[in-house]
Amino acid sequence: MIGTECAAILHLRWLFALTVGVALAAPMQHAMAQRASPDIPPAALPDVRLQRLPTEEAPSPAPQLSVPPPAPAYPSPSAGAVRFRLQRVDLFGVTAYPVTELQATFDPLIDTEVTLADIYRLAKNIERRYRDDGYFLSRAIVPVQTVEDGRVRLQVLEGFVAAVRIEGDVGAVQSLLQAYIDPVTRERPLRFATLERALLLANDLPGLSVSGLLQPAPSQPGAADLVVSASRQPFEASMLVDNLGDDYTGRYEYAASVSSNAWTPLGERVSAVGFVTNPFDDHNQKVGQFSTSWRLGGDGLALETIYSYGVSHPGSTVAPLDIESNTWLAGASAVYPVIRSRSFNLSGRFGFEALNDNVDFFGNTTLSRDRLRVLLMTANIDFRDAWRGTNTFETTLRQGLPVLDATRRSDDDKSRSDGTGQATVFQASLSRLQPVYDNLAVYVASSGQYAFTSVLSDQEFLLGGAQFGRGYDYATLAGDSGIGGTAELRYTQPLPWAEFDRVQVFGFVDGGRVWDRQTLGEDQLTSTGGGLRLFPFDRLFFELVGAKPLTLDSGRANGDRDPQFLFRAVGRL
């Protein structure tokens, strides 16, 4: 685990003495090759996963859907005066259920005296059954008829979408968008869940924004036409600057990204991200990341790929060692939306990733070589509940594989002396945004990791930085397993200006603890503070934070616990 500056100094002295020995005697070089390398601070390695960058807190908003209300069916004013003994009810137009299943609705009325108003209520109850089961366009009516021998006829109009019209510029994804919408016209009667899923999947296409409007079909009773309005944003870009870095590779962080959206029938997104800390200093890190996402078929399945490469030259207490770290990460995964709706979403991810990390010191002397080949499975849930809360929950199982030269426990040149590339790691995270009163809300989030064996540096659980431990440097603490959490009280004040529509004031407490499998005890940190968030022009975001370390001396505070003032600025195009 990464501890205080004192531990880093002892680490430096030990390495320096070892290096002097290597220079003086060849036998010591052989001894160095046989021993396990010292642990590498995770903050000194390039962040090829870009974990330092902010992530979205809540699911993206759902597309608009306008559904016309059903036409009311009123009995005549004299319906209560028309009485007869009901002997039989004939249902026409029912395909969604066996007719016998709907008999329970009217069986209690058979062979009893009823009024015409009772028959209208009976039709309303059948229609309610359809609506409760999601058949939102279906209706049950009492057609014009003459009641003879106590027999009544009811007509069910099982609603469906007869035609779809797509309006707007959708570019090359016209056929893919049509494939997402096709289940809407195939299903009869139509369920709301089918229409909702289709529009949400369409809205998930990179750069696309869609809305739906249902209109009565002019020539088919019970049918509707769907008008899908779409607009496309072919390119997106963003820039970020903050001072949330660390002593090893620099306080100031800069990032820029650009994405190209949906230029082919596969509805792809191609993104490139550049990340650098302290660009005018020798002790910094640089990361470049290239990622793609491709839609496969008409049911939301996506293939995602990533390649990331980073170089770091850490300074601070390890500057005299002239450390250079080169890391690349490559991965591919399939993502499928099992459930897609406005109120509840469930998706699954299955993928593979490979990582190579090479750390040298004093020019070309090997300090560590890590090789990770990992199979991963992820389940992600987000939902909105009756208390207006927005919730997210994610679990991931990562299994290191003994393939493609993966690091073994017996290898000497690895980032952590007791680590292995074949570790099994379980990760989980959750969050909730809960409105309390008027403009007041509470946000809570937590993440944890449990490793079934000691891991390499890349898979350690980290504390400190923007997510958990804002009063501390990124990755101040690291361990095989850990848990972190944050709680914020937020007050958002709407503003009367179109270009500056709201401001948010917040206070927080955050922290966590980590532990290793091979050592006793645990390390923990806690910080508290508050700040201000500004949202001008709908494309800019500014965050100003005052954070005070509480339980551990902070490198950001020069080894003390003084309050620290942080900022983050994001611009989107």
**Is the domain 53-233 a CATH 2.60.40.3880 member?**
no
Q: How confident is the model at residue 308 (pLDDT cuts 50, 70, 90)?
A: very high
- Residue 103: phi, psi to the nearest 5? -65, -30
pLDDT digits over 503-535, tens only?
999 999 999 999 998 877 679 999 999 999 998
At residue 28, the pLDDT reads 32
Whole-angstrom Cα distance, residue 39 to residue 307?
26
Q: Strand pairing of 83-86 and 235-242?
A: unpaired
Rg (CA), the chain: 31
Residue 27 φ/ψ, nearest 5 degrees? -60, -30
Number of neighbouring beta carbons within 10 Å of residue 65: 17
Q: Write down the mean pLDDT value for the chain.
A: 87
Q: What's residue 21's pLDDT?
A: 36
* 35 or 51, greater pLDDT: 51
Q: What is the pTM of this model?
A: 0.85
Is residue 19 very low, low, confident or very high in pLDDT (cuts 50, 70, 90)?
very low
**pLDDT of 26 strictly over 70:** no
Q: Please write the tens of the pLDDT for every residue from 476-506.
A: 999 999 999 999 999 999 888 777 888 999 9
**Higher-confidence position of 497 and 92:** 92
User: Is it the case that residue 202 has pLDDT exceeding 50?
Assistant: yes
Q: Which of 26-30, 97-101, 339-343, 451-455 has the lowest mean pLDDT?
A: 26-30
pLDDT of residue 521: 67
**Confidence (pLDDT) at 68:** 66
Q: How confident is the model at residue 69 (pLDDT cuts 50, 70, 90)?
A: low
Domain residue spans of the chain: 5-52+244-572, 53-233
What is the residue whose two structure tokens read 């770290």? 325
224: left (phi over 0), alpha (psi -120 to 50) or beta: beta
At 74 the pLDDT is 60
| CATH 1.10.150.670 is right for the domain spanning 5-52+244-572 | no
Give me the pLDDT at residue 291, please.
97
- 542-569 pLDDT, tens digit each: 999 999 999 988 877 777 888 999 999 9
Q: Look at the alpha carbons of 97, 100, 102, 104 in this order and tell me if their dihedral is positive or negative.
A: negative
pLDDT attached to residue 297: 92
Structure tokens at 452: 């079934």
- What is the chain's length? 573
